């Protein structure tokens, strides 16, 4: 019984990672059926965690994949990510502390290969009013000014804000630039009366709150 038949009889939950990947791929390649292609691809990339970090171009260069299958796989990964994000956002999000911020940010940022900075605007009850991506850069960071942060915070009438950004390296340890930028933003926020509640770094290997590490 192949993966399609097992899915129909026992449900997708009963399938292994390589069974599910075989369903997405659809066909194998010369001398390698789709089940073996899926298994070898997962093994070569260190499992799903390694696979989702590949770009479409990198996927397309793997034996038996090509552009069409690479895009099909990336689309499946993106659908899964969006489903998780929408499920988390189905109810009002309360961001009362570091753990809640990490829960919100991890599915969005942890596996990205480029850096993004997000501004979370909170209301008086620490519920999420809005979430904006205010900067996007490469693997080694992105430029950001206090104006880039305060302008959307004031526009959204935030009672407080939280900054979140990711480290594509996988290490959540704040850099010296992260610390200096947080201090500058916290000081500017005090002036306009919209306090910075936290600045959280998200990475594949964990997360860090700058407010728990530093005195701001």
Domain of residue 70, CATH code: 1.10.150
Q: Say if residue 101 is in the same domain as residue 186.
A: yes
170 in Cβ contact with 207 (< 8 Å): no
> Could you read off the pLDDT of 163-173 as tens digits, one per residue?
999 999 999 99
CA pair distance 93, 162, nearest whole angstrom: 13
Domain stops at, among 24, 51, 86: 86
Domain boundary among the residues 86, 116, 142 is at: 86
With vertex at residue 81, the alpha carbon angle to CA 77 and CA 84, rounded to the nearest 5 degrees, is 140
Residues 144 and 192 occupy one common structural domain? yes
Contacts 24+ apart (CB under 8 A), 65-73: 65/25, 65/41, 69/25, 69/26, 72/24, 72/25, 72/26, 73/21, 73/24, 73/25
Same domain for 82 and 104, yes or no, is no
Domain that includes residue 163, residue range? 94-213
Domain boundary among 86, 103, 121: 86
Instruction: Find the DSSP H helices in the chain.
Output: 3-10, 17-25, 34-45, 48-51, 56-60, 66-88, 98-109, 146-155, 176-192, 210-213
Tens-digit pLDDT profile for residues 61-118:
998 899 999 999 989 888 887 777 666 555 457 888 999 999 999 988 998 888 999 9
36: its two tokens = 């073996």
Is there a single domain that holds both residue 154 and residue 192? yes
Q: Total domain count for the chain?
A: 2
39 near 19, Cβ under 8 Å? Answer: no
On whether both 41 and 118 belong to a single domain, the answer is no
What's the pLDDT score for residue 55? 82
> Do residues 216 and 196 lie in contact, with contact meaning Cβ atoms separated by under 8 Å?
yes
* pTM score of the predicted model: 0.62
Specify whether 80 is located in the same domain as 11: yes
**Per-residue confidence band for 216, with pLDDT thresholds at 50, 70 and 90:** low
Instruction: Indicate whether 71 and 130 sit together in one domain.
Output: no
């Amino acid at each position: 019984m192949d993966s399609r038949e097992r899915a129909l009889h026992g449900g997708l939950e009963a399938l292994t990672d390589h069974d599910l990947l075989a369903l997405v791929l659809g066909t194998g390649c010369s001398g390698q059926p789709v089940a073996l292609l899926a298994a070898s691809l997962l093994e070569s990339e260190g499992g799903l965690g390694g696979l989702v970090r590949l770009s479409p171009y990198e996927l397309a260069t793997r034996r038996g994949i090509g552009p069409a299958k690479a895009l099909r796989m990336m689309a499946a990964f993106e659908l899964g990510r969006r489903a998780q994000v929408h499920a988390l956002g189905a109810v009002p999000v309360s961001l009362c502390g570091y753990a809640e911020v990490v829960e919100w940010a991890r599915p969005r940022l942890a596996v990205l290969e480029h850096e993004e900075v997000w501004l979370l605007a909170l209301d008086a009850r620490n519920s999420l009013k809005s979430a904006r991506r205010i900067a996007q850069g490469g693997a080694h960071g992105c430029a950001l000014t206090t104006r880039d942060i305060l302008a959307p915070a004031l526009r959204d009438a935030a009672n407080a804000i939280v900054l979140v950004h990711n480290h594509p390296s996988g290490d959540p340890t704040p850099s010296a630039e992260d610390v200096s930028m947080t201090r500058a933003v916290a000081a500017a926020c005090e002036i306009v009366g919209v306090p910075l509640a936290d600045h959280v770094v998200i990475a594949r290997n964990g997360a860090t709150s700058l407010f728990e590490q530093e005195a701001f």
